[in-house]
Amino acid sequence: MAYKNVLKYSDVTPKADYMNRRQLMGGAAGLFAGMAIGPALGASKYSTDAKPNTFEEISSYNNFYEFGTGKEDPARHAHQLTVDPWSVQIDGMVDKPGSYGLEDILAKVSQEERIYRFRCVEAWSMVIPWYGFELKQLLDMAGVQSGAKYVAFETLVREEEMPGIRSVNIDWPYREGLRLDEAMHPLTIMATGVYDQPMPKQNGAPLRLVVPWKYGFKSIKSIVRVTLTDKQPQTSWNMLQSREYGFYSNVNPEVSHPRWSQATERTIGGGLFAKRKETLMFNGYEEEVAGLYAGMDLAKNF
């Protein structure tokens, strides 16, 4: 798998310099598994101006329990994962259910870079330049039926390639879900790459969800199934401990995790003595998404 104009670790720069380089690229097409996935459109209007983390930081500090519970375990073991060919089963309340090959999906969607803040429920954060497309494009492709209210997601389960499945006490597959209006929001994307490189396997190759105003565990990795439903779906962390992990899991500095405060966060790459910074409501995306939760008790619906 390769993208044209692939950036090396040594090429990683602050956003301003990086974006100047992208403009010089002149909209060159990226490649995924040897197939065109559309033009590099430059930074989206939804991108943050914050300085991105380096590719090395993004790809070496991960939660992906299918490969182990340590932050370095995914990078150590995920090379075993087979990601080509790849397909996504789309079913439930859709007009066109079926198995959608990733190659076919990417031929029909429009991709762009989205530089997003990323906030983990464990109170650490990064800034990540994702590459991908709005989830809405995929849902529109399948044809969402009028009674659908939620979107459920499932990740790959392949025990021979994912050693964590044998040792981590989760009812596999890993499951996540969104309300339909959250899924259709333009900030919600299906990411296929980072820094103009194909999605690292430890980050959820080849296709993962990114919902930047929610805690990171909502952004499910290595997706193989999408289901439209009229009932709120089960989600893995909520199934494990509902008191600690609600269905919504919106970033909210005013609602603490039962075992730690969410008021501040530690920035990955900030250095050993870097000060913690205040966490922003909805991870800084309040203007864009607060309307989705108008009238809701956000402490009750956490």
Q: What is the DSSP letter of 192?
A: E
Confidence check: pLDDT of 211 > 70: yes
CATH number of 9-293: 3.90.420.10
Numbered residues of the known binding site? 62, 65-66, 120, 155, 203, 208, 219-221
Return the half-sphere exposure (C-beta side, CA atoms, 13 A cut-off) of residue 59: 21
Residue 118's SS3 state is: strand
pLDDT at 41 (0 to 100): 43
Predicted confidence (pLDDT) at residue 17 exceeds the cutoff of 80: no
3-state DSSP assignment of residue 130 = strand
Task: Give binding residues for Mo-molybdopterin as ranges.
Answer: 62, 65-66, 120, 155, 203, 208, 219-221
Per-domain residue ranges of the chain: 9-293
- Give the DSSP letter of residue 295: T
Residue with tokens 């087979």: 82
Which pLDDT tens digit goes with each residue over 229-255?
Answer: 999 999 999 999 999 999 999 999 999
